[in-house]
Structure formats: structure tokens, C-alpha cells
Amino acid sequence: MNKEIFLQKLTENLVSLNKEEREKVIAYYTEMISDKVENGAAEDAVIQDLGSPADIALQICAEYKKAADSLPAKNAGIPDSEPSRYTAAGDVKTIIVSAQNIHVDVRSVPAGRVRVLFDPLPTDKISVSEADGVYTFIHSIPFHLFNWFGLFHAHGGITLEIPESFSGDVSVQTDNARLTVENLRHLKSGTFTTDNARIVVSGTECGKLSAHTSNGKVELENCTGQTCKIKTNNGRITANSCTFPAGLDLHTDNASINADRVKADTIIFKTNNGSINALIDGDARNYAIHSHTSNGQNTLPADWTFPEQTKQLSAETSNAHIAVKFTEGGMR
């Protein structure tokens, strides 16, 4: 393949880009080929090393699509930190996001402002307000347009970006769609709510963490803070490597609770028809223990209280086993 044919094929394959962007790509490769040839390489070898025009175009278009999907868009180039339509203007201490039938991903960004990335459909109703340090983003679908059969939003989801410096309160709610929270640090409180879908919180440091769903599982991974309260039903709760000294409360129904390496002074595991499996990072002797199940093996004593004990563990279920161990003090 010679230079002309390569560039022509590349142009053909970049058909999904607008003219201005396409011309920039061609200019880049034209210049690159000329420079390489000028520096002693043979044109044929240069073209071959670049790879197939189809593959190159695929890679470039994928980058554009990735950017276009995650931002409300002008499709100018490959945006990264362009402010979105829903960027907070001032100092934010409280974030409230409420959505309907759209999944929400909450993530931390190293710098910048609190903002929501979302590409609404014409039928979406959005209301954004900011006053006294409270940033509110509300998305809803007008009732008569609610698509009962396809409860999934045709578009992508909502992304809430919170800068690393933020240390206030966050409350995010959606329904019939998942909620994920990643790597938020030093939050004062975080309340995450959905229905009929799962919640996943990872790498997050939050004074008061609360997650509530129904018919969906909740997964916590590497989270720390003061207190953590999880409620679901018909959905399994998994909490791995979490530390909440002032209290860890995991409550579900008809599903198991699994807590691998959790550390807290007050622990409540409550479910029924589901097993409780946990490894508690701590000394068993410090815990006043109350546990109960029917029709299931139990590694814990039913009632074990001594005055010197400063911590509490309560594990309750039925029709399933309780397998709770401690890293120290017996019961391993």
C-alpha cells in the first residue's frame, strides 16, 4: 500500500467523524509518514508499521464514541475535562442527586468541580439548582411517558463526579437501576438509595455511610468510616475489608450476609432464610455476643456477655447457618 492509498482508505474508514475531525486525523498521518520517510525509512515499511487503516480508524472512532457517550456533547475533539452543562459553580457542601430509572455512577476526580455528566433525551425532565452550598440535580420522566415494558433508559447513565477536596454530605437516589460509588474520600455522610437493583460501594471513606435497596444486592469493598448501615431484602450483602468502628449494621431478608475482614465495635448481622458468614477483625473476647438461628449450624455462642466487654456482636437468622469467626481470641 502506498501513502495515497493508505490515506484514502483511512479517510473512508473515518466516515463517522465530522469533516473537521477527519481532516485533522489525515493531516496528522500525512505529516507522520513524511517525517518518518525523511528520517530514512522506506515509505512501504512506514505504511506497514502504522497498521491497517481500518484498525486505526476503529481505534480513533472508539475514543470519540467513548467521550461522546459520557458527556453532554458538542463532539468537538475528544473532550476530557470539559465542564458539563451541570457543573456546580460555587463551593458545594451538600450534593443531592435524584434520578428515575437511570443508573448512577458516583466517582471521585482529582480536581475540579462537582458535576453531573448526563445526556438527556428530549423527554427527560431535569432540574438543577445550587444555593447555600447545596447542589441539587433532579431527573425525572413524565408519568405518561413512563415506559412500563422497557424500564431501561435508552441512553447511558448519570455520572456524578465529586472532586477529591469535597468533604460534605452526598445523597444519591435512583430506582430500578444500579448505583455504584467509587473512591470517594473523607465524606461526612453518604446516603445511597435505589430499588430493584444493586448498590456497589468501593474504596470509599465516609463518616456515616448508608445504602438502601430492595430486591438487589449490596456490595461494599474497602470502605471505612464511623458507621455503616445497609438495608436490602431479597438481595445478598457482601462487605469485604471494611472498617466502621462506631457501628456496622447489615440487614437483609431471604439472602445471605457475607463479611470478610470487617472491623467494628458494634456489629449487627440480621437476615432470615440466608446464611451469615463473617470474619471479624478483632478479639472475640471483647465482644458481647448474641446470636440466633433455627435449623442451622452456628459457630457463635447464643449469649455470651461479660461486664468487661466493650463491643457487641449480634447475628440473627433462621433456616440457615451462622459461620462467624474472629481473627483473635478463639472462635477462629
Binding site for another protein (CB under 8 A): 24-25, 27-32, 34-36, 38-39, 50-51, 55-56, 59-60, 63, 67, 76-82, 110
Q: Residue 278 corresponds to which cell in the numbers above?
A: 463473617
Q: Residue 33 corresponds to which cell in the numbers above?
A: 509518514
Burial of 279 (0-12, 13-18, 19+ CB in 10 A): middle
Residue number, 50 or 128, with CB nearest to another protein: 50
Residue number, 79 or 296, with CB nearest to another protein: 79
Smallest gap from Cβ 83 to another protein, in A, equals 10
Smallest gap from Cβ 63 to another protein, in A, equals 4
Residue number, 67 or 288, with CB nearest to another protein: 67
Smallest gap from Cβ 35 to another protein, in A, equals 3
- DSSP codes, 3-60: HHHHHHHHHHHTTTS-HHHHHHHHHHHHHHHHHHHHTT--HHHHHHHH--HHHHHHHH
Residue number, 60 or 201, with CB nearest to another protein: 60
Residue number, 110 or 307, with CB nearest to another protein: 110
DSSP state of 122: T
Smallest gap from Cβ 182 to another protein, in A, equals 13
Cα-Cα-Cα-Cα dihedral of 325, 328, 331, 332, to 10°?
A: 70
Q: How far apart are CA 79 and CA 37, in angstroms?
A: 32
Backbone region of residue 317 per phi and psi (left: phi > 0; alpha: psi in -120 to 50; beta: other values)? beta
Smallest gap from Cβ 39 to another protein, in A, equals 7
Residue number, 60 or 99, with CB nearest to another protein: 60
Handedness of CA 69, 73, 76, 78 (dihedral sign): negative
Residue number, 28 or 152, with CB nearest to another protein: 28
Handedness of CA 170, 225, 268, 233 (dihedral sign): positive
Contacts of 298 (CB under 8 A, 6+ apart): 291, 292, 321, 322
**Element (DSSP H or E) covering residue 67:** helix 53-70
Q: How far apart are CA 235 and CA 271, in angstroms?
A: 10
Q: Which amino acid is at 216?
A: G
Smallest gap from Cβ 111 to another protein, in A, equals 8
Smallest gap from Cβ 80 to another protein, in A, equals 5
